[in-house]
Structure 1
Amino acid sequence: MFNNKRYLSRGVNETIPIELQLFMWERIDQLSEPRDYLQIFNLEQVGSMQSITHRSEEPEYQKVYLLPSEKPITQKIYVIDDDDHSTMLLATEY
C-alpha cells in the first residue's frame, strides 16, 4: 500500500505547507507492513509548536510529533490508498 502515484486535493495544496505534506508522506513510508488504507493526521497548534497526531485503525497505530512552526495549522487530513493511487485530502473534502 501507498507505493503508487500520489495526489493532493486542492485544499491540501492550498492550505498545507509542502514541508508538512512531505513529512506526512514520510511518516506513511516509514510504517511497517501491513498498513491501513486510511491514514489520519490531526494537525493542531500547541503553543508555538505544530502537533501532528498520526493514526490508523487496522492495525491500530498512533504517534504524536511536535515540530517547531511559525504558523501552526489546525486541520484534519486523510491519506487514502485505493491500490491504484494515494490521495491526501482535507477531512472536509471527503
Structure 2
Amino acid sequence: MTRGVNEVVSVELQLALWGILERRRERGDQLDHLQIFELSAEMVDGEPLQTVLNKQEQPFHEEVFYVDHIENLAIGVTVWVMDSGEYATMLLPNEY
C-alpha cells in the first residue's frame, strides 16, 4: 500500500479490504485489475458502521460490505486496488 493509504485508512480497515477481495475470489468472482472501494459510514442501532462499496468495470460489479469493529472509520475516502497479475497495490486515486 502507499503512504497515502497508510495515512487515511487504518490497518484494520486495510486488512478488511484485502479480505473482501479474497472472499470474492473464493466464491469465484472474476475480478477486474482495478477494484474501487468507496468508504462511508452508516448508523446501525445507534452505532456507526463502516460501509464499503466495492465496484469494478469489467465485468461490471457493485456490492456493499459492512465492516464492524473498526475504531477509526474512513468516511468519504476512495481506495483503489490495482492488480498487475504479479502484485497488487492499494492506493488513493490522487496517487496514481
TM-score when normalising by structure 2:
0.79
Which of 20, 23, 35 matches 1:30? 23
Q: Whose strand fraction is larger, Structure 1's or Structure 2's?
A: 1
The equivalent residue for 1:16 is 9
Shift of 1:81: 0.6
Give aligned pairs, total.
Answer: 87
**Greater RCO, CA 8 A, separation 6+:** 1
Mapped pair 1:43 → 2:39: yes
Determine if contact 2:16/2:67 at 8 Å carries over to the other structure.
no
Following TM superposition, by how much is the alpha carbon of 1:33 offset from its aligned partner in structure 2, in angstroms? 4.3
The TM-score normalised by the length of structure 1 is: 0.80
Task: Please list the CA deviations of residues 33-85 of structure 1 after superposition, one character each: whole Å capped at 9, or x if unmatched.
Answer: 42100000000122322111011111111111223444321200000011221
Question: Please, which of 80, 88, 92 is the counterpart of residue 86 of structure 1?
Answer: 88
Cα separation, 1, equivalents of 2:86 and 2:66: 32
Query: How much does 1:20 deviate?
Result: 0.8
Could you tell me how far apart the structure 2 residues matched to 1:22 and 1:62 are?
Answer: 20
Q: Deviations over 1:12-37 (max 9, x none)?
A: 11221111111111111122242100
Kept in 1, the 8 Å contact 2:33–2:83? The answer is: yes
Structure 1, 66-75 or 28-37: larger mean CA deviation: 66-75
Gaps of 5+ in 2: none
Kindly state the Cα deviation for residue 87 of structure 1 after the two structures are TM-superposed: 0.2
CA distance in 2, matches of 1:41, 1:51: 10
Among the aligned pairs, what percent are the same residue?
Answer: 33
**What's the C-alpha RMSD, in Å, of the aligned pairs?**
1.6
